[in-house]
Amino acid sequence: AQKVTQAQTEISVVEKEDVTLDCVYETRDTTYYLFWYKQPPSGELVFLIRRNSFDEQNEISGRYSWNFQKSTSSFNFTITASQVVDSAVYFCALRSIGSNFGNEKLTFGTGTRLTIIP
Amino acid sequence: GAVVSQHPSWVICKSGTSVKIECRSLDFQATTMFWYRQFPKQSLMLMATSNEGSKATYEQGVEKDKFLINHASLTLSTLTVTSAHPEDSSFYICSADAGTLNSPLHFGNGTRLTVT
C-alpha cells in the first residue's frame, strides 16, 4: 500500500516570505515517482515537478525548490519570495511501480491550502 | 506539450438523469486513463482506472453500475454518472497516461457536476 501525508492543512504567509510545504510518503516499492501539483481556485491541476526514487538531487526552478530525502521519505517543496499568485492548494503525489505494471495509480496527499497575504 | 481535454467543464442536471463526461488526449495516445473525484476542500480520490479496449478497474467502494467508464479508443475515455443524485455532486477530473513510467500524468481541467 502507498500513502502520502501532507500534515499542513492550511498555511498563510505574508507576501515575499518563504514557505515550505511538507510531504512524507510511504511505499514498499523501490521504484517510484513523486510529484507536486498546484490546484488554483479554478480547479485544474498544474504539474510542477516529478522525481524518481533513484534521483535524490534537489531541484530549483525559479522561486520553487524541492528537497527529496529518501532517508526520511520526504519530498518537501519550498517557495521563496512568495507572491499572491502562489495562493492555491498544493498536492504531493506518489506513483509506485509495483507488480501491477501498467496500471500504476497516482496516490495524492490531502493537500495544503496556501494563502499568500498581500 | 501533451494536453488532456475534459468536457464539459461544468454541468447541472436533475436527479435521476445521467451525465456523460468526456476525457480526450489531444496529441498522444493514452493507454490508461484515470478518473478521480474531489469533494470540496478535499483531496483527489481515485475512482477507477480504464484501459483501452478492456473493462475498467474500480477502486473499492466505487459503484461500477453507477459510474460507467468506457475507454473505446486510445484518445477517449468517458465517465457516465447514471441516475445522478445530489450526493453525486462533485468535481470529477481525469488524467491520461502516455505509457511511459515517468510521465507526469496529464490532467484534464475537471468537470464540476451539480445535481439538483
Across the interface, whether the CB atoms of A33 and B44 are under 8 A apart is answered no
Is residue A15 predicted with pLDDT exceeding 60? Answer: yes
Predicted pLDDT of residue B79: 97
A97 chain-B contacts, CB cut-off 8 A: 101
Task: Tell me the C-alpha distance between B28 and B9, whole Å.
Answer: 21
**Percent of chain B residues topping a pLDDT of 90:** 71
Task: Tell me the C-alpha distance between A59 and B24, whole Å.
Answer: 32
- What is the pLDDT averaged over residues B106-116? 94
Task: Tell me the C-alpha distance between A77 and A98, whole Å.
Answer: 26
Task: Tell me the C-alpha distance between A107 and A94, whole Å.
Answer: 5
Highest averaged pLDDT of the listed ranges A3-17, B25-39, B64-78, B100-114: A3-17
The Cβ-side half-sphere exposure at A109, using a 13 Å CA radius, reads: 30
- What are the φ/ψ torsions at residue A27 (nearest 5 degrees)? -160, 150
Q: Which of B91, B104, B112 sits opposite A35 (nearest CB)?
A: B104
The residue assigned the cell 468536457 is: B7
Predicted pLDDT of residue A103: 58
Label residue B1 by pLDDT band (50, 70, 90): low
Predicted pLDDT of residue B55: 87
Across the interface, whether the CB atoms of B109 and A91 are under 8 A apart is answered no
**Percent of chain A residues topping a pLDDT of 90:** 67
Q: B16-54: per-residue pLDDT in tens?
A: 999 999 999 998 888 889 999 999 889 999 999 988 888
Average pLDDT value for chain B: 90
- What is the pLDDT averaged over residues B71-91? 94
Task: Tell me the C-alpha distance between B60 and B47, whole Å.
Answer: 8
Residue A115 near chain B (CB below 8 Å): no
Q: Which of A50, A106, A109 sits opposite B102 (nearest CB)?
A: A50
Predicted pLDDT of residue B101: 59
Distant-in-sequence, close-in-space partners of A96: CB < 8 Å, separation ≥ 6: A2, A27, A28, A29, A31, A32, A104, A107
For strand B32-38 and strand B90-97, is the pairing parallel, antiparallel, or unpaired? antiparallel
Label residue B14 by pLDDT band (50, 70, 90): very high
Predicted pLDDT of residue B30: 84
Is residue B86 predicted with pLDDT exceeding 90? Answer: yes
B112 chain-A contacts, CB cut-off 8 A: 43
E strands, chain A, are: 3-5, 10-14, 19-21, 24-26, 32-39, 46-52, 59-61, 64-69, 74-79, 88-96, 106-108, 112-117
- What is the pLDDT averaged over residues A16-36? 94
Question: For residue B108, what is the nearest residue in chain A, using CA coordinates?
Answer: A44
Q: Residue B106: which of B35, A30, B98, B114 has the closest Cα?
A: B98
Across the interface, whether the CB atoms of A43 and B91 are under 8 A apart is answered yes
Residue A82 in grid coordinates? 512568495
Q: A35-93: per-residue pLDDT in tens?
A: 999 999 988 899 899 898 988 888 899 999 999 999 999 999 999 999 999 999 999 99
**Which of A31, A38, A45, A94 is most worth mutating to test chain B (most B CB atoms within 10 A of its CB)?**
A45
